[in-house]
Amino acid sequence: MGFDVIVVGAGLAGLTATAEIADGGKKVLLLDQEPETSIGGQAWWSFGGLFLIDSPEQRKMGIKDSKELAYQDWMGSAGFDRLYDEDYWAKQWAEAYLDFAADEKRDWLRSLGIKFFPVVGWAERGGYLADGHGNSVPRFHIVWGTGPAIVEAFEKRIRTQIDQGLVTYLPRHRVDQLLIENGAAVGVKGSILEPSNAKRGEKSSRTVIDDFTYKSPTIVISSGGIGANFDLIRKNWPERLGSSPQNMISGVPDHVDGRMLEISEKTGARIVNRDRMWHYTEGIKNHSPVWTEHGIRILPGPSSLWFDAEGNRFQAPNFPGFDTLGTLETIMKTGYDYSWFILTQKIIEKEFALSGSEQNPDLTGKSYKRLLERLKKWSARSCSSIYGSR
Amino acid sequence: MDQGEDFVVANNLDDLVNKMNELVDNSLLNKDEIKKQIEARDRELDNLFTKDLQVTALRGSRFYRGDRLIRTAKPHKILDPKNGPLIAVKLNIISRKTLGGLQTNLSGQVLNSDGCVIKGLYAAGETAGFGGGGVHGYRALEGSFLGGCLFTGKIVGENIRTS
């Protein structure tokens, strides 16, 4: 059986690429090492926040945004300094992405049935100068239904394309090698893993029962990052962020293993900027873990007082929600890999949101009624029920 | 099962700090030092001028309706008992993302170390550093990771569809 395209990885990027390709009538083979229950990958677990510029939601909340302001903020945060090499294409992608976020993105997503929660969040507030790191205005648009709603919009398209015979989706197919001949892709080789009953996000077995080879002149690698591979994180950890943490918890499922990056590199693909990473500093352990070392990130409001392990309050602008990597660097340079919030019940009631679709059943379940109940209850609830609840 | 193993709660700061030290099994935290710092911060709530930038930031964020509604508590004194029991949270480093990745051109085609296209090979999502091998540079603005999967997936898909 011939395929026009092979897509490696059924996370959000792979699903999007597959849906767009098959829309043109080309035949796509979609491979993933995980069982079908994990379709959508990491995106399913996300809070569903999307960066939009000058949206109707922003305008309704009295926020004045523009592409120029967003450009200033993006470049101030990115600090591209390898322009003639590793950042050559990255910066051009950033410019293209800003155009997308200001123009087409919202309409395109709405045409796929995606809607947004009316209160726009203000993430990464910066705290330096006007043209330094951070968002000058709130831009974090939460998808109504969080991560699962985004995944669902694309999964639905793909299910239809499977029915039409345009997409063949083979879970438990792990790619081990990219086949390249005379500088051109010709196919993939890999292992078929034994069937798995793992639920979404759970670790699945790596027992091989067979192998496979599929030929195609076009291959898309959409296999995700390295977030669950602590060895690789430590290996790539840049000196500028201090020493790498001895203790970490994981914000992503086990399958986010970075395998395909190495496999791609072996066949001649170039990896750039591997010293740049994004890890959070406000992780708490999940009391009902789904994956190994499962952590949840607190999305904190700005009021909690932040102390290092020795009890020294951090200097400005290391306040909650201002500069993720700046604070990571500050923490790691203390010589300890943890820090403390001290706050009051009034603060926790108003300001603690937990990142992740499963932590926010009202937003995820698209229930305004439940959301309003939560907002009302926040003032009445005891704090133990808040941090003890999901 | 301890549902909130990284949380401690107490009615006064002395007890809170004791419990914090117990939680991490050391005695790095000194009650008097912490108390002095929080009292200094609390004092700034009576000062309309203030040089504590976090207090300034709180007042600023209350200008935004969204923050006032669901994000920023009305500024209050941490050590005033009427604001409820004190809570401390031990915060761990939590892994998430690589910002670098396979270098791709604006069509999403993967490049080799000479900067030349590997024919037929594309990358999308985090593997491609969400585009070009590092669209965020050193730091992100948030809301751009899911969006980066969508954008790179769409661009790669469109390019392959029309090629």
Given B89, B117, B142, which residue is the final one in a domain? B89
Sign of CA dihedral A231, A236, A237, A243: positive
Q: Is residue B104 part of a domain?
A: no
Domain that holds residue B156: 109-162
Average pLDDT over residues B71-83: 97
Q: Is residue B155 part of a domain?
A: yes
Q: Is residue B149 part of a domain?
A: yes
A130 touches chain B (CB under 8 A): no
Q: Quick check: helix, strand or coil at residue A302?
A: coil
**Which residues lie across from B111 on neighbouring strands?**
B117
Nearest CA in chain A to B12: A344
CB < 8 Å to A387, chain B: 3-4, 7, 87
The answer to whether residues B23 and B83 belong to one domain is: yes
Q: Is residue B116 part of a domain?
A: yes
Mutation to test the A interface, candidates B26, B92, B159, most A Cβ within 10 Å: B92
Residue whose token pair is 């009650």: B31
Contact predicate A65/A54, CB 8 Å: yes
Contact predicate A352/A297, CB 8 Å: no
Residue A383 has pLDDT above 50, yes or no: no
- Which of B88, B112, B137 is nearest residue A341 as measured by Cβ atoms? B88
Q: Quick check: helix, strand or coil at residue A122?
A: coil
Q: Is residue B94 part of a domain?
A: no
Q: Is residue B56 part of a domain?
A: yes
Nearest CA in chain A to B128: A222
Average pLDDT over residues A319-323: 98
Distance CA A104, CA A74 (A): 18
Domain count of chain B? 2
Supply the pLDDT for residue B38: 98
Closest residue by Cα to residue A334 from A210, A245, A236: A245
What are the pLDDT digits (tens) for A325-362? Answer: 999 999 999 999 999 999 999 999 899 877 777 777 77
Average pLDDT over residues B66-72: 93
Q: Is residue B75 part of a domain?
A: yes
Under an 8 A CB cutoff, do A124 and B142 touch? yes
Supply the pLDDT for residue B3: 53
Given B25, B60, B89, which residue is the final one in a domain? B89
The answer to whether residues B61 and B127 belong to one domain is: no
Supply the pLDDT for residue A372: 63
Supply the pLDDT for residue A363: 76
What are the pLDDT digits (tens) for A228-260? Answer: 999 999 999 999 999 999 999 999 999 999 999
The answer to whether residues B17 and B62 belong to one domain is: yes
The answer to whether residues B19 and B70 belong to one domain is: yes
Supply the pLDDT for residue B57: 97
% of chain B exceeding 70 in pLDDT: 98
A337 touches chain B (CB under 8 A): yes
Provide the b/e sequence for A193-230 (b: ≥16 CB within 10 Å).
Answer: beebebebbbebeeeeeeeeebebbbbbbbbbbbbbbb
Supply the pLDDT for residue A321: 97
Supply the pLDDT for residue A375: 56
CB < 8 Å to B45, chain A: none
- Which of B65, B91, B138 is nearest residue A276 as measured by Cβ atoms? B138
B46 touches chain A (CB under 8 A): no
pLDDT classification of A366: cutoffs 50, 70, 90: confident
Supply the pLDDT for residue A387: 35
Supply the pLDDT for residue A380: 42
Average pLDDT over residues B14-43: 98
pLDDT classification of A225: cutoffs 50, 70, 90: very high
Under an 8 A CB cutoff, do A147 and B142 touch? no
Shortest CA gap B129–chain A (Å): 8
Calculate the average pLDDT of chain B.
96
Chain A to chain B Cβ contacts (< 8 Å): 505
The answer to whether residues B115 and B84 belong to one domain is: no
Q: What angle do CA A296, A301, A303 make, to 5 degrees?
A: 125
Nearest CA in chain B to A287: B3
Nearest CA in chain A to B160: A21
Angle between helices A12-23 and A146-163 (to 10 degrees): 40
Supply the pLDDT for residue A164: 98
B2 touches chain A (CB under 8 A): yes
ipTM field: 0.96
- Which of B70, B145, B157 is nearest residue A375 as measured by Cβ atoms? B70
What are the pLDDT digits (tens) for A268-294? Answer: 999 999 999 999 999 999 989 999 999
Shortest CA gap A260–chain B (Å): 8
Under an 8 A CB cutoff, do B137 and A78 touch? yes
- Which of B86, B119, B133 is nearest residue A185 as measured by Cβ atoms? B119
Supply the pLDDT for residue A318: 98
Residues near B79 by Cβ (< 8 Å), separated by ≥ 6? B13, B35, B38, B39, B42, B86
Supply the pLDDT for residue A32: 98
